[in-house]
Chain A
Amino acid sequence: MSVNQRQVAMVMDLNKCIGCQTCTVACKTLWTRNEGQEHMLFNTVNTAPGAGTPRNFEQMGGGFRNGKAQSGQLPTMADWGEKFELNFDEVFYGGESDMPLNAKTGEPDWSANWDEDVGAGEYPNSYYFYLPRICNHCTHPACMAACPRKAIEKREEDGVVLINEDRCRGYQFCAEACPYKKIYFNEQKGVSQKCIFCFPRLDEGVANACARQCPGRVRFVGYLDDEEGPIHKLVYKYKVALPLHPEYETGPNVFYVPPLSPEMIDDQGNPTGQDRIPLSYLESLFGDGVKEALDLLKSERAITQTGGESELMDLLISRKWQDLFGPFSKHPRDAERLRITDAADPIKMFDPQLATTAVEEETQIVRLIDPANS
């Protein structure tokens, strides 16, 4: 296993995620628009509790136990949910105002985020929150360990985990072994594909598209070892940012600030002082550190509510948007142009045809710019 010098990481503050899927769309628009990628969402946002994407991925095995590789299951296309088109044209422009919004092809019974806002619990104490997920660019990537072709690499300079499509043979052992089920298969190219942590943007000092586009300011991006940066402080100093399913033993480098909840209310409508989201559920996701994290968030919040100062609250509020991105705060417009024609680069993420046209028209910067040009 390669030893990387530094590790980039992401912290997602679940208290701020509004489930708008802007991140999902930003990523989809930037990276998975080609043929063979229709079903791919490198970034997903699911309602929790829920089945997740792919459906019931938490029951599909993989990862490690006591350091030993665990057998995993390959998600089927039905688990991901096939792409379908909605009848927007008929509904909005067809002159039939009471026509329901429906899939044009067949009747899908599952897709990413199918169980949106279902959640759990009984009225009036029902609850849910949103859980955005990308590849965790793990410290011990189960995907990389499983590949018989050594087609998966962890970049030395920043620990980003990438699939080398020149070496990949489409065997999909990686997709079985990843306990987060974050690897898709491109039938068209016969290779596995997954989140690349927007590395061509990082290389130019620009933060990930999902992070820049997020209207909730949910996502921090930076180096884990940057002691002055928000990531290091949230993960190590305050320990309020926790990895998802640490029991899979892959060492995820995406961390979550667990969600605080409103108090439960009793039959009379009076608050009971108990959190609505069961601690046991949050611990099943983020491990043992949840209680301490939530307690600290509550006590720090109380400090600011009475006029006091809290570095933690300031960090989480992130009044200055740019502070979320540390060394990656450049606007894509100001970044150097991407060297998309560099033949030495083994990572083929651009449709060569698209790339050529782009170069000819001198618009190759387009892939660096956030879709909405923010």
Chain B
Amino acid sequence: MQVQSIKQLDPWRDPKADLWRGVEVESVPLMATPLPMQPTEYIREKWKEKPYGQTPSVDVQVVRDEREIAFHLSWFSGSKHGKDAAAIALPVKGNPILVMMGSRTDPIHFLHWRNDGKPVRSTFSEGIGSTRPGAEVLPGAEAHWSDGRWRLVITRALGRDAEVAPLIPGQPTKVGFAIWNGANDERAGLKAFSIDWKELHL
């Protein structure tokens, strides 16, 4: 996944902006987090016969200027729901396993957007169920829903810190994605996620 370098990020914050048309799109296939990996017996029991995480893919575009990066995510959601949500995962260090939500030594930094009017959440995860509020990375998001599709731009400051996934021009890293379908009552581990990391070339 190639990050296109641009002059000034501001006009790109609008997910509907025509500018985005000229940027390479990568369709990232998604799959449901497997039932045995749901953290409690209750959740496994309740969802054993109920499909979840059925969003097949998310189309991703990425641009950056000198200070910030913007991810444009677009996916089919059918309906629009207050609990529709998306997240971007970035490794903080080491080689975390995405589906395990990282580990103590190899943590993951997430940016979460939810269609509830609240700001994007930055979270820090050292494994399933361990997520806690993450470092301040000046995250932002704008979302637009039309014709059964969400278009979402999530932005973050470039740079690195102890608990911040490094995003440094010239240094490749990895990125992962997750989508929750609110109308299907999806939350927590009930989601569609990119099976593995995608290389991210800044």
Residues of A within 8 A of B (CB): 68-72, 142, 145-150, 169, 171, 173, 176-177
Contacts and interface: CB of A to CB of B under 8 A. Distances in A.
Contacts of B188: 148-149, 169, 171, 173
A51 to B, nearest CB: 24
A148 B43 contact: yes
Given A148-B129, A148-B189, A150-B129, A70 B45 contact: yes
B46 interface: yes
Given A171-B187, A173-B188, A142 B42 contact: yes
B40 interface: yes
Contacts of A171: 187-188
B41 interface: yes
Contacts, number: 44
Interface SS majority for chain B: loop
Given A171-B188, A173-B188, A149 B42 contact: no
B187 A69 contact: no
A31 B46 CA distance: 32
Nearest to B133: A166
Given A169-B188, A171-B188, A173-B188, A147 B46 contact: no
A173 B129 contact: no
Interface in B84-133: 128-129, 131
B167 to A, nearest CB: 25
11 contacts: A69-B41, A71-B46, A146-B40, A146-B43, A147-B40, A148-B43, A148-B128, A148-B189, A171-B187, A173-B46, A177-B42
A149 B43 contact: no
Instruction: Please indicate which of the listed interface residues B42, B43, B131, B189 has the most CB atoms of chain A within 10 Å of its own CB.
Output: B42
A173 B43 contact: yes
Given A148-B39, A169-B188, A69 B45 contact: yes
Given A146-B40, A148-B40, A148-B43, 8 more contacts: A69-B45, A142-B42, A145-B40, A148-B39, A150-B129, A173-B43, A173-B188, A177-B42
